Amino acid sequence: MRQRRQAALRLLLVLTLLAASAACLGGSSGRRVLVIMTPWTAEAERNSFQAVLTAFKAETGITVHASPTRALDQVLRAAVQKREAPDLAVMANPGALRSYAQQGDLVRLDRFQDRALGSGLVDLLRSDYGPPWSRAGEAVNGDPYAVMVKASVKSLIWYAPQRLATQPPDSWAGLVGVGRSMVQRGDTPWCLALADPPNSGWPGTDWIEDILLHQSGADLYTDWVDGNLDWTSPQVREAWQAWGQIFTAQGSIHGGPLTALLTGYGEGAYPLFTASPGCYFEHGAPVTPDPTAVTKPLPGKDYDFVPFPEFRPTPTPAYEVSGDLVAMFHDSPEAERFMAFLASPQAQQIWPGLQPESAFSANRAVATRLASGHATGSVARRIDELLTSSAILCFDASDSMPSSMAAAFNRAVLDYLNDPTRLPTILAGLDKVRADAYPQSTQSSVCAHSSPGQEAK
């Protein structure tokens, strides 16, 4: 706790020093406008991030323009190749962050020792954020390059409480059994939507990652992320087959496999809320109800979640998490101040305050404060409490893999759902990609206890 207070005080000093520096630049008309490339094209996300930018401008007078695109990775890489990179950008994933850092395109956050920004900001990230959040922003020998602007939990099963007699089972075997019973009586248990050009397939990778984590544990999950485990290994093959238990049975997916392949991932949960249920369960990060619905579904009443089911009893629960990282391509006093602002408690509570059921802070102090402000047992409070519990948190596997490996994984999911009999060929193909994607031995820390002072591989 003392270390956190010290880190917070150091960051406050950073902001004060930078404010004085900015004042020396003259009026706001003399300050350079920053541009940040983002993936947030949906209205709710776009407006929430704009609220962060507005708060920053109100405090500093510095304007930050957001440039949103769904094809962020592709557009950003093209801009960097043309030497037209924006001042800042949201990284597609930690794998992309490492790639840009290794190429020398990014600015290290501990580079600004003369203005105390590096030490103050980095200390805060490592004390109040902790693993795996701070580690996700590190690259090239563990050097810090990014700030986590918001967090999400993926190891969740969503359902409509008013349409089920009980909560979904807390065991994998029980969940599979309930799905089969629904199919037998003519109901469709699962929603699934995989389309998200140019990255279609990733919602399916989340499934396989979650299964592997809960079936084989955090250590093996880490080996797999680092390229030290064959895709044709029994553990990885069994994870794919377990996913197939649910989704290859006729009648188990809303609309069938073809509909899943063509439906945009943001619309995946809509059938949960139709008058005649199109499905009863969905997996992943917080669901997105249809914004055009006449009656807005209420969290906790119309939709709720349970943690991903266990394959066997375990003393410490594990959850797959993800988050959005912001990194700097061009150094300037304005950009440095913006990065410090993004990491501050003030900025970290803006987005979750606007979308409390779908956006969360990786800052433990902020998450704890937000949890205490939500009703006991509410969706938002329980997710905040999960993020600050003693659980093991594992960063999204495909997001942490090299970009070529992640892209091949996405395509493999689409191929498998289209024809499950091709699994041996699909996994062998992924091993071929793996041989080129990892030119040297890798050792990451994608899994860690969410509580400071504890260790996980």
pLDDT band at 146 (very low <50, low <70, confident <90, very high): very high
| Residues paired with 67 in a beta bridge | 37
> What pLDDT, on the 0 to 100 scale, is given for residue 50?
98
Neighbour count for residue 21 (Cβ, 10 Å): 14
pLDDT digits (tens, 9 = 90+) for 28-39: 445 689 999 999
State the greatest distance between any 2 C-alpha atoms of the chain, in Å, as a whole number.
72
413/274: higher pLDDT: 413
19/35: higher pLDDT: 35
> What pLDDT, on the 0 to 100 scale, is given for residue 192?
96
| Whole-number Å distance between alpha carbons of 435 and 421 | 24
Handedness of CA 345, 348, 351, 356 (dihedral sign): negative
Closest residue by Cα to residue 414 from 247, 293, 289: 247
pLDDT band at 331 (very low <50, low <70, confident <90, very high): very high
> What pLDDT, on the 0 to 100 scale, is given for residue 375?
94
Per the CB < 8 A criterion, the answer to whether 227 and 236 are in contact is: no
| Whole-number Å distance between alpha carbons of 1 and 357 | 27
Residue count of the chain, please give it: 457
223/2: higher pLDDT: 223
> Which tokens hold the place of 20?
């004085």
> What pLDDT, on the 0 to 100 scale, is given for residue 38?
98
To the nearest 10°, report the CA torsion of 55, 58, 60, 61. 130
Per the CB < 8 A criterion, the answer to whether 424 and 230 are in contact is: no
| Whole-number Å distance between alpha carbons of 32 and 62 | 7
pLDDT digits (tens, 9 = 90+) for 183-213: 999 999 999 999 999 899 999 999 999 999 9
CA 117: distance to chain centroid?
Answer: 26
Burial classification of residue 456, based on how many CB atoms lie within 10 Å of its CB (0-12 exposed, 13-18 middle, 19 or more buried)? buried
pLDDT band at 445 (very low <50, low <70, confident <90, very high): confident
> Which tokens hold the place of 442?
């890798």
> What pLDDT, on the 0 to 100 scale, is given for residue 12?
42
Neighbour count for residue 289 (Cβ, 10 Å): 18
> Which tokens hold the place of 289?
């109800």
pTM for the whole thing?
A: 0.89
pLDDT digits (tens, 9 = 90+) for 127-138: 888 788 888 898
**C-alpha R_g of the chain:** 22
For the stretch 270-280, what's the b/e string if a residue is b when 16 or more beta carbons lie within 10 angstroms of its beta carbon?
bbbbeeebbbb
Instruction: Tell me: pLDDT of 287 over 90.
Output: no
Instruction: Tell me: pLDDT of 456 over 80.
Output: no
pLDDT digits (tens, 9 = 90+) for 226-239: 999 999 999 999 99
For the chain, the straight-line distance linking the first and the last C-alpha, in angstroms and rounded, comes to: 24
Handedness of CA 305, 150, 194, 207 (dihedral sign): negative
| Whole-number Å distance between alpha carbons of 285 and 370 | 18
Neighbour count for residue 6 (Cβ, 10 Å): 14
111/114: higher pLDDT: 111
Closest residue by Cα to residue 384 from 374, 365, 371: 371
Closest residue by Cα to residue 352 from 319, 381, 322: 381
Q: Which residue has the tokens 């009893």?
A: 313
> What pLDDT, on the 0 to 100 scale, is given for residue 392?
94
CA 254: distance to chain centroid?
Answer: 25
Query: Three-state secondary structure along 362-391?
Result: CCHHHHHHHHHHCCCCCHHHHHHHHHCCCC
